[in-house]
A and B are shown apart, each in its own frame.
Chain A
Amino acid sequence: QPQLQESGPGLVKPSETLSLTCSVSGDSFNSFSYYWGWVRQPPGKGLEWIASIYYSGTTYYNPSLKSRVTMSMDTSKKEFSLKLSSVNAADTAVYYCVRGGSATELYAMDVWGQGTKVTVSS
């Protein structure tokens, strides 16, 4: 299984853009079978899916965040990225990058990064 590692600033000012990158080591990044995504967890709360991207470049966004989210991937670097614009305190959370399984795994999120904590504050 691959390993995923998130990176990015731990502190973002309100109204600015949060930018995170996930580096993928190991196999499967160049496979059309899997997808890659972001999930967040506000302090003391549950999990919220943010966005997903397939190797083809097709993206899917959470409707509640769609106007502020952009997800992209750099296949040469085996990385994918998240940008969330116009952040506010409600965007404070631990952000996880994930791999989504293939159709065989019914698209379950089978590999998770360790998570990176992002605080929105001036």
Chain B
Amino acid sequence: DIQMTQSPSSLSASVGDRVTITCQASQSISNYVAWLQQKPGKAPKLLIYGASTLQGGVPSRFSGSGSGTDFTLTISSLQPEDFATYYCQQSYTIPTFGQGTRLDIK
């Protein structure tokens, strides 16, 4: 299985901050990475696929980058509704997820 190592596991930030979450794959996976957002008690929501393509309806303050083994999710200016848990997920082979990054208010 391909392991996805996500960091940090938790993060405190303020509204307006720029935030970066990283994900490292245990082997090269090209750009087969998605980023998902999950709010408490809700199903995950797809934000980005193909490492950098924004899913329809997702605000442009979200962006993704990377290829190969190293990937990044960036939120350019945090909004109150962005406080949630974020997961990376690879679809290069059978799917695996990162362990999640909990983003909360400082």
B50, A109: Cβ atoms closer than 8 Å: no
Number of interface residues of B (CB under 8 A): 23
Q: Considering only CB atoms, which chain B residue lies closest to A51 in the complex?
A: B94
A62, B34: Cβ atoms closer than 8 Å: no
B43, A49: Cβ atoms closer than 8 Å: no
A110, B44: Cβ atoms closer than 8 Å: no
Residues of A near B97 (CB, < 8 A) are 46-49
Number of interface residues of A (CB under 8 A): 22
Q: Is B75 located at the chain interface by the 8 A CB criterion?
A: no
Q: Is A90 located at the chain interface by the 8 A CB criterion?
A: no
* Distance between Cα atoms of A96 and B42 in the complex (Å): 10
Q: Is B1 located at the chain interface by the 8 A CB criterion?
A: yes
Residues of B near A109 (CB, < 8 A) are 34, 36, 44, 46, 89, 91, 95
Report B102 CB to chain A, min CB distance, Å.
11
Q: Is B14 located at the chain interface by the 8 A CB criterion?
A: no
